[in-house]
Structure 1
Amino acid sequence: MIKFFRRIRFNLMSENKTGKYLKYAIGEIILVVIGILIALQINNWNENRKALIKENALYSSIMSDLGVDKDKLNIVLEGLQSFKDTQFQVFNESIGEAVFDKNTFYEDLRWGERFNPIVKENHNITISTISNESIREELNQYFKLEERTKEAIMFSNNKRRGDLRAFLTKNGILNTKALYSETSYEFEPFRELKFINYEKLKSQYGTVELDQILTELRIDTAWAITNILDLIEANNKLQKSLELKITKG
């Protein structure tokens, strides 16, 4: 191709057609520029395509982690709702509006909830690479709500692990013999074990200390459940936004 253009220029100069040569030269320059622009456009298209593929892969990764965290949230929610039911059962018994219920897991008074989300942990840095502003903002808001939920669950756990456990221990409500009847060295069997001495728990009904602990638990548990429900809703919304973005490309 270069030899072809060179031959045309040589013939024009040999025939002393300077005017035509200049026009041809200008035309050739224009063609070269157009070629360069086309090449740049193709290169930009390829780079944009690579960036889109990379960003969609990031969206898919975030969606996967959102799914994992949603499962964790539902487990914690189930645990807190069970704990809330136990609180109400104990309180209603203490004021004479309920009696012992064999289906109530009074041991919920001793346990706490574990919540270790991974969305923010895995994507707190990569969020800056997301080009879509609305997705980036939605993810930032999700991070904030995730932190608030972790804090709410922590407050609920601290009340149970602090004041409530101290109360149970001080009043001999934990049945040591029942715990040592389990010969396994592993932890999980304890989760289903009945080790609350109900009669000793009942003897504390109506005391100021238990009433105040139940009051604090009621507030902290409700706050934790509210935040979990909000985070589950935000989780669903963010997953839909990411799925729509991947679909549209």
Structure 2
Amino acid sequence: MTFLRDTGLIFWSQLRSNLRNPLWVIIGVMQPIIYLVLFGPLVKGVSGSFGPGADPWKILTPALVIQIGLFGALFVGFGIVAELRAGVIERQRVTPAARGALLLGRVLKDMTVLVVQALVLVAVAAAAFGLRPDPLGLVLSLLLIAVMGAGLAAASYALGLWARSEDTLASLLNSVSVPVMLLSGILLPMTVGPKWLQDIAKINPYSHTVDAARALFRGDFATHDVYVGTAVTLVFSLILMAIGARGFARENA
């Protein structure tokens, strides 16, 4: 019970901080909306190459939902660098709060923010472009982004405590995030690329996450993409959470 109480206290403390300054939450959803508005018509223009009857908005929007999870969670480490500089982490270290609760509370807050941002993006796509995702598929996609975000956020917090500098952290994250995004098929399905590029993309776990989200938006639940994407996302997120938790505990020892 003490662990759950400590987790809840950290969660509400972090969430209140976001509510007092929602600018970063808004900025986090603006880039996917810009992609939706400016890149969506291009996807629509080449949608014939994705197969007969392919809905371009069901191709682009779920991928942008995953993009929110990818960039939104991967860059949360900058926040903990700022907290470290302000002395917040030092004050928390001398409290009796469980070290795991200090991390889990933050991760739960990030999962909440990501889901809200994803809902805003889907609402814009529905209102402006007539997107009609499968209701159950939308819910399952939100769960997928939450699981994905948990792993990335945990790793990012541990990395932020290790780097202790925005410059170092930015260099590390930018060198990872851009190739991961390009090889995940977020902007265009990897099936339209050459065979060698498709083979490289298969190594990227989030390419499978994107494929699963697209299938869920279509309502195709019993497909290979959903099974593989869900399994890969869950396993990879658990690995990242374990690595992140270990690094976070070591840096907070």
User: TM-score by structure 2 length?
Assistant: 0.28
- The structure that has the greater radius of gyration is 1
User: TM-score by structure 1 length?
Assistant: 0.29
